[in-house]
Amino acid sequence: MAIFVVDELDASFGECVLMLQCSGVKSGYIILRNYLTREKVEPIIKGTVLEKFEFIADDPTSLRRLSSRKPLKKKRISGSVSFGAVPVDHAFNVKGVGTVVLGVVVNGTIEKHEDMRVLPGNKIAQIRSIQKHDDDFESASKGNRVGLALRNVEVEDVERGVVLTRDPSIKSSRSIKVHASLVGYWSSL
């Protein structure tokens, strides 16, 4: 669901319409400002996902009503385990410590002494220690910026872009198969 605030009909408006159309957001609200009218906007959004959006007034009462609606509950898969994943931002060697990497935990939780796969490749690194803001921790979870001291790998094995994970669903590949489609609003079509 999206909330689309329209201040003026310009290139930015067009880009937002395209983005919402391409991303497949099927429902939402349109708030008009600066004396724009529904009659002026409707012909422009005709044939896009936005024509199904609800127009709401730009006033505190309407916005309060909107914020009081209950959010959709996310479905939880019972028994699912969330393995940690850390894309490496930077790797370097520290005298007396060894290989250290910096990154953000983007999924799940990681723990000290945990073995992690180094992707791409087939190496296994063990987490010797975890630091967050120069303090030692036993674990780190999604969103934490971490410094990890690693065992069993060299700096060259964990350069920027490498992912450390235990998640079996994360794989590396030299090819990818995707479905692509052209945006129907491209000027040369």
Percent composition of the chain: helix, strand, coil (DSSP 3-state, to 5): 20, 35, 45
The answer as to whether 20 is a domain residue is yes
Indicate which CATH number applies to the domain containing 110.
2.40.30.10
pTM over 0.85: no
1-42: per-residue pLDDT in tens? 888 899 999 989 888 888 888 887 888 899 999 899 999 999
Indicate whether 31 and 91 sit together in one domain.
no
Indicate whether 95 and 49 sit together in one domain.
no
The answer as to whether 184 is a domain residue is no
109-162: per-residue pLDDT in tens? 999 999 999 998 889 999 999 999 989 999 999 999 999 999 999 999 889 989
Report which of 53, 27, 55, 22 is spatially closest to residue 39, judged by C-alpha positions.
55
- Residue 184 tokens, joined: 């129907």
Answer whether 89's CB lies under 8 Å from 106's CB. Answer: no
Indicate whether 102 and 129 sit together in one domain.
yes
Domain count along the chain: 2
Indicate whether 96 and 157 sit together in one domain.
yes
How far apart are alpha carbons 83 and 69 in whole angstroms? 33
Q: Which domain holds residue 37?
A: 2-67
The answer as to whether 18 is a domain residue is yes
